[in-house]
């Protein structure tokens, strides 16, 4: 049947549901270059304003997933699970979680992305390790997965080309926050990995892409139900992104913190989140240990050094220099610039978005997709919400190769609000999310 792009756009613009065939046609023709960017832009804006129902989202995920090659991992003898975060600041969880799960026998194939604006990217962090290249073929992806038990790499040319093209347009047309388009982008890539299960770290708060908790819950509910439609077991945690995860925000500084976590010296909040997601992963995989045993097994993966060994094996296979990870002082950062507290009191706010913007201004992130990041750039926080600090004491260290950091210093000082009263304890994990997008378990 012949379809006309303008008619499909008009139908969605008027709020009418599209058929799976119409959506498939639009995606295929766009990837083939037969529908121009301006028509896809109009379609994206129509979806942004009119939304999509569940059937439309499933059809969009299916057509985007099948726009290129799909991994075939049928012969992998084990449970295949990925983790996805909806984006945040200081979020190095994947670098820790993947080797921990691999050390317990779960295979973790992970297609990750780069940072944009205030949100950091896993690939940028990994590429701060000298020699490591996240651009690998599907053949190499498979080889590393089978050998190391996990692989974190970038999206290849063959894998989900529709998402690569559409995401660039979404960024340029201010349609990034469209819930159906977010669902399609995430799930098309994850389903192309031939997964058995998926754990989601859905972030809400100042530094999240969905700062409103209700929007974040709705997103999670849709991701869970779409996964169910493709026979993938999905579980989601709602986590707090009012302040950064851990103490390090940037590239190399986050690699260092990840290594600290894998060697038993990481910040408590980072490890709490890693263990919570890992527990969900083990439950999805059908591992029947009681939860107390799971915590003990996870801790043993750290204490025994097996998780760190998995990470080093992965880094070596990706071309990275493992010597700098075994002796971190081999790879020195630039001299830090110290940001000091402007008054005495309790840290009442540590605005994650502002810290992310400051890291970007230092060179750790991108204003535009084509910008090149500085692997040395980053922020090392010295305080968290609730800490007491005296005027003149350090609240952060800045690392950058830029000559003038006055704007970065100002952004950090703006992010750290100090008050007279100690705030309520910071809640890191709000709870589990149901397929209906409801908070069902208080953590």
pLDDT in tens, 181-218: 999 999 999 999 889 999 999 999 998 888 999 999 99
pLDDT, greater one: 120 or 208: 208
CB 239 within 8 A of CB 84: no
What is the distance between the alpha carbons of residues 54 and 218, in angstroms, rounded to a whole number? 12
Kindly tell me if the per-residue pLDDT of 443 is higher than 60: no
Report the pLDDT averaged over residues 57-73.
92
In 241-307, which ranges are E strands? 248-250
Q: Taking residues 151-168, what's their average pLDDT?
A: 88
Residue 137 phi/psi, 5° resolution? -75, 165
Report the chain's terminal Cα–Cα distance, integer Å: 51
| Number of residues written out for the chain | 443
What is the value of pTM for the model shown? 0.91
What are the residue numbers of the active site? Answer: 84, 163, 170, 185, 189
Specify the pLDDT at position 308. 97
Mean of per-residue pLDDT scores for the chain: 91
CA–CA gap between residue 157 and residue 401 (Å, rounded): 32
Question: Over pLDDT 90: what percentage of the chain?
Answer: 74
User: Which pLDDT band, with edges at 50, 70 and 90, does 288 fall under?
Assistant: confident
Query: Average pLDDT for residues 266-281, to the nearest whole number?
Result: 96
Sketch out the chain's domains with CATH numbers.
5-51 (1.20.970.10), 81-326+431-442 (3.40.1030.10), 333-419 (3.90.1170.30)
pLDDT in tens, 306-341: 999 999 999 999 999 999 998 876 566 788 899 999
Structure confidence at residue 172 (pLDDT)? 81
Quick one: average pLDDT of 292-316? 95
H helical segments located in 175-317: 179-191, 213-229, 252-262, 268-284, 291-303, 306-317
Residue 442 in this model has a pLDDT that exceeds 60 = no
- pLDDT for residue 116 is more than 70: no
Residue 351 Rama label (left phi>0; alpha psi -120 to 50; beta):
beta
Backbone angles phi, psi at 375, to 5 degrees: -65, -25
């Amino acid at each position: 049947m012949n379809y006309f792009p303008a008619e499909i756009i008009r139908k969605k613009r008027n709020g009418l549901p599209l058929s799976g065939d119409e959506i498939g046609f639009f995606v295929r023709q766009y990837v083939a270059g037969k529908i121009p960017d301006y028509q896809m832009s109009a379609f994206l804006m129509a979806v942004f304003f009119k939304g999509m129902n569940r059937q439309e989202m499933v059809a969009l995920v299916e057509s985007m997933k099948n726009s290129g090659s799909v991994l075939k991992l049928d012969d992998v003898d084990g449970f295949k699970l990925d983790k996805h975060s909806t984006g945040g600041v200081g979020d190095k969880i994947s670098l820790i979680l993947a080797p921990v799960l691999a050390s317990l026998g779960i295979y973790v194939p992970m297609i990750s992305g780069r940072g944009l604006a205030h949100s950091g990217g896993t690939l940028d962090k990994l590429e701060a390790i000298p020699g490591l290249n996240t651009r690998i073929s599907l053949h190499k992806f498979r080889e590393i997965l089978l050998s190391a038990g996990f692989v974190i790499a970038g999206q290849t040319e063959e894998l989900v080309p529709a998402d690569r093209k559409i995401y660039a347009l979404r960024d340029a047309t201010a349609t990034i926050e469209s819930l159906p388009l977010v669902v399609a982008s995430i799930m098309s890539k994850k389903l192309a990995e031939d997964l058995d299960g998926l754990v989601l770290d859905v972030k809400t708060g100042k530094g999240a892409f969905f700062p409103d908790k209700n929007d974040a819950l709705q997103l999670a509910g849709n991701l869970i139900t779409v996964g169910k439609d493709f026979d993938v077991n999905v579980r989601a945690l709602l986590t707090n992104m009012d302040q950064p995860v851990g103490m390090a925000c940037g590239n190399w500084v986050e690699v260092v913190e990840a290594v600290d976590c894998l060697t038993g010296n990481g910040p408590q909040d980072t490890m709490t989140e890693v263990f919570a997601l890992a527990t969900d992963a083990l439950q999805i995989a059908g591992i029947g240990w009681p939860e107390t045993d799971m915590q003990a097994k996870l801790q043993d993966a750290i204490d025994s050094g097996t998780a760190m060994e998995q990470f080093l094996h992965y880094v070596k296979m990706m071309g990275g220099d493992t010597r700098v990870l075994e002796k971190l002082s081999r790879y020195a950062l630039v001299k830090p610039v110290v940001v000091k507290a402007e008054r005495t009191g309790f840290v009442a706010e540590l605005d994650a978005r502002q810290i992310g913007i400051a890291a970007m201004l230092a060179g750790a992130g991108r204003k535009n997709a084509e910008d090149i990041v500085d692997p040395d750039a980053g922020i090392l926080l010295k305080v968290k919400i609730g800490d007491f600090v005296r005027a003149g004491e350090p609240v952060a260290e800045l690392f950058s190769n830029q000559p003038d950091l006055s704007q970065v210093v100002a952004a950090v000082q703006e992010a750290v609000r100090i008050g007279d009263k100690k705030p309520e304890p910071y809640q890191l994990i709000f709870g589990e999310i149901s397929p209906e997008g409801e908070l069902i378990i208080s953590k």
